[in-house]
Structure 1
């Protein structure tokens, strides 16, 4: 049974989330403020956290940063705030997903399942259980395992958010092709309904940090000024 920590000060919302997800087979713990959330994060050791941004004692984004420092647990923001700036801040703070209220409980459940699945795969990777395709060439390449949603960078596992993974899947499927921001938005809109040009730029910055040897002089993910981005292979010389 997977464990879910709900950090939400709205008691009705917290109960609704807990009732639905417990019906889906999850063990639930609830916290009505940030301090309780931090204590339960350590004591309960959840598989995923649902975090509201508006808490009585903590700014939700700051709490997300604090939680990310002490745990790699998947964090999904569940908030009334739908502004692009809030979503961008949450991504930068280490959140893995962002769901705006009101939302479908069915969608919430699907996203939680996907977060846990990716987290388990990354833990397996950290334990040294490399996929079969990680042969000698893996040390020199960036590879994608679409079924298991794994990203291998020079032979090592790198954790990505859902949006980052989908962008990399598109890049790796079409090396050299220039994608506009609109192309990338459309690629991830299925589960990131509020994605914008600014959010795409944040994803690109984060991906460069994860795959480039020098993110300030990117080799793989190149900016095509006035158009968008493209992914190039190792055989292409930097411009």
Structure 2
């Protein structure tokens, strides 16, 4: 794996930002330091980094809102850092799509180790087009849903839907297994990989995002178990 990744460190505390950047640079990562989410959004538009180290409490737009916006567009790794250590804060961060959550004060070496782990997972995900799902059918049809795996394109009622890579993989898992009940752990393994160590609430947030894009999608929660997608109109894999 090439260490020449670009890490964006977003924190309005210059002491923390400079310290984190120094430790990352010792590991041969390139870094960009930013003091606000607005600056970070401009960076995302112009020169998107490979991973975000994101403080929650920022002036103006906070880290939660910035994370939500990024997750609506891409699956780039996000590690949240915060002095807020309540379970609610951690769950909210993970639900919004962060891949990890580290409480201040933290060891810079621990942060570097978590950065390495997230980039290793990201590298493996992008090396394989469809992790844990080896076949590549031409198309998958389930009711009003059409997936084209080789092109990574999805259509609902004939209209193309813009999905992130994780959203597409999750829909494919459901579409190839209509009416099957999946646990959250199973979905984590399919979509995030066996080595994912975050909260299973990430599954709930991913499904919320897909439902927002496809309002009539027949995915239903199974209390105490997980989710399934009903087959409401026939389906086939070709």
TM-score of the two chains, using structure 1 as the length reference? 0.59
Q: Residue 119 and residue 29 in structure 1: after superposition, are their counterparts in 2 closer, same or farther (change >3 A)?
A: farther
Structure 1, 28-37 or 174-183: larger mean CA deviation: 174-183
Unaligned segments of structure 1, at least 5 residues: 123-131
Residue in structure 2 matched with residue 51 of structure 1 by the alignment: 54
Task: Give CA-to-partner distance per residue, 1:154-204, whole Å, 9 cap, x none.
Answer: 48772144xx577557646754322345665687684243334xx543332
Structure 1, 113-122 or 36-45: larger mean CA deviation: 113-122
1:206 aligns with 2:209: yes
Residue in structure 2 matched with residue 128 of structure 1 by the alignment: none
Q: For the Cα contact (< 8 Å) 1:50–1:78, is it kept in 2? A: yes
Residue in structure 2 matched with residue 106 of structure 1 by the alignment: 113
Say which SS state the counterpart of residue 200 (structure 2) adopts.
coil
Residue in structure 2 matched with residue 153 of structure 1 by the alignment: 154
Residue in structure 2 matched with residue 235 of structure 1 by the alignment: 234
Give the structure with the higher percent helix. Answer: 1
- Shift in Å at residue 53 of structure 1? 0.7
If asked which structure has higher relative contact order (CA below 8 Å, sep 6+), I would say: 2
Say which SS state the counterpart of residue 21 (structure 2) adopts.
helix
Residue in structure 1 matched with residue 132 of structure 2 by the alignment: none
Q: Distance in 2 between matches of 1:192 and 1:169?
A: 22
Say which SS state the counterpart of residue 17 (structure 1) adopts.
helix
TM-score of the two chains, using structure 2 as the length reference? 0.59
Unaligned segments of structure 2, at least 5 residues: 130-134
- Shift in Å at residue 49 of structure 1? 2.7
Q: For the Cα contact (< 8 Å) 2:36–2:61, is it kept in 1? A: yes
Q: For the Cα contact (< 8 Å) 1:151–1:157, is it kept in 2? A: no
Q: How does 1:73-92 map to 2 (within 5 A)?
A: 74=76, 76-80=78-82, 81=84, 83=86, 85-87=88-90, 89-90=92-93
- Shift in Å at residue 22 of structure 1? 2.9
Q: Distance in 2 between matches of 1:232 and 1:75?
A: 31
Q: Distance in 2 between matches of 1:55 and 1:29?
A: 16
Q: CA RMSD in A?
A: 4.5
